[in-house]
Amino acid sequence: MTAPDSDGLLAEQLLRLTRRVHRIQKRHLEHRDLGITPAQSRLLRTLAHYGSPPRMADLAERLEVVPRAVTTLVDGLEAAGKVRRVPDPANRRVIRIELTANGRTALGELHGARRSAAEEILAPLTDEQREVLGGLLDTLIDGPCPGPGRRTE
């Protein structure tokens, strides 16, 4: 078991790395001059994972934010021509959000900015270190694999 002091240090290192990742990604977004905030970027990436245009409430739930926050994000992206509101074919009272061609192009640029940011962050690591880091991150993201006699909660 890890000593409490080292757990605190690891937690602080993770928080510092998270802040650094956000700063670098934001800088790479700004260099591409897309006019998209990190929150709008997240909404576009989320929107792209739906098979059909979702409702605003679906986006709010997936993003774990209040619906009003999604409305503000969609308003900005719609004004920029990256998304559009469309009526639900089965219920005229329901509005769905879909990506435009401009939005799909922006997603490609966002992907490039995120990849550039990741390359910058990972640059000091060797291939072997990257492989080890990838395995460690998978464990942290997915949680430990249950072994014999271990329960999953």
How does pLDDT run across 77-118, given as a tens digit for each residue?
A: 999 999 999 999 899 899 999 999 999 999 999 999 889 989
Quickly tell me which residue has 């995120």 as its tokens.
114
Predicted pLDDT of residue 28: 84
Q: For residue 40, give the nearest of 16, 19, 71 by alpha carbon.
A: 71
pTM: 0.74
How does pLDDT run across 17-28, given as a tens digit for each residue?
A: 989 988 898 888
**Residue range 62-67: mean pLDDT, rounded:** 94
Q: Which residues have C-beta within 8 Å of that of residue 81, sequence separation ≥ 6?
A: 100, 102, 103
Residue 97: C-alpha distances to residues 2, 31, 78 (Å):
47, 27, 9
- Give CA–CA dist 41/106, Å, rounded: 9
Q: Which residues have C-beta within 8 Å of that of residue 105, sequence separation ≥ 6?
A: none
Residue 145 has pLDDT above 70, yes or no: no
Residue 101: C-alpha distances to residues 84, 105, 121 (Å):
10, 6, 31
